[in-house]
Structure formats: structure tokens, C-alpha cells
Amino acid sequence: MADTYALGSANTTPHIHVYSGGDCHIKFAGGDRVDLIKNHVRVPQARLNEVFDRIRSEYPDAQNQTRVAALAALGGVLRNVAIHQSDR
């Protein structure tokens, strides 16, 4: 499996980069990068909540296409991935 982008592309933000091994991160404007899946496991839920909150904060209009696409892409990449041990 090749690297893909569940949202955006290499030179756009936000983007969600999914690596061939299954790990992924989201990158925000300004270069802030946050891992979402590391070693085939979701990062702790508190960290994911920060990501969701940041998207909602940066795109406060619930109808904003970037917000809608980012939230949908996050749901897609996190679905069916093992939860972090600290969240069990």
C-alpha cells in the first residue's frame, strides 16, 4: 500500500497523511503536525479531542467545507483502529 492523503495533499493544510504502514498524522496551517495513529494504535483520546476541537475552532461555521471534510476524514481513518491502552 502506498502513502495516501485522506484529506488534502502534501502542500495543503489541513491534510491527513496516511503512511503505507497504516500510521497517520494531521498537519495544520503553520506546520503543526499531530500524530493520529502511531504503531497501528490511535493516540490517546485526549489528544484526538484536541484535534477535533482545533478543527472546530479554526472552522467555526458548521457548514464550512474544510471543516466537514476534515471531520469526515478523521472519522474514516480512525474507524476500526485499536484504541490506545490508556483509553481502555
Q: Where are the domains of the chain?
A: 4-81
Q: Supply angle C-alpha 82, 85, 88, rounded to 5.
A: 85
pTM of the predicted structure, to 2 decimals: 0.92
pLDDT-based confidence at 1, cuts 50/70/90?
low
| Portion of the chain with pLDDT greater than 90, in percent | 92
Burial of 74 (0-12, 13-18, 19+ CB in 10 A): buried
Q: What percent of the chain has pLDDT over 70?
A: 99
How many other CB atoms are found less than 10 A from the CB of residue 1? 8
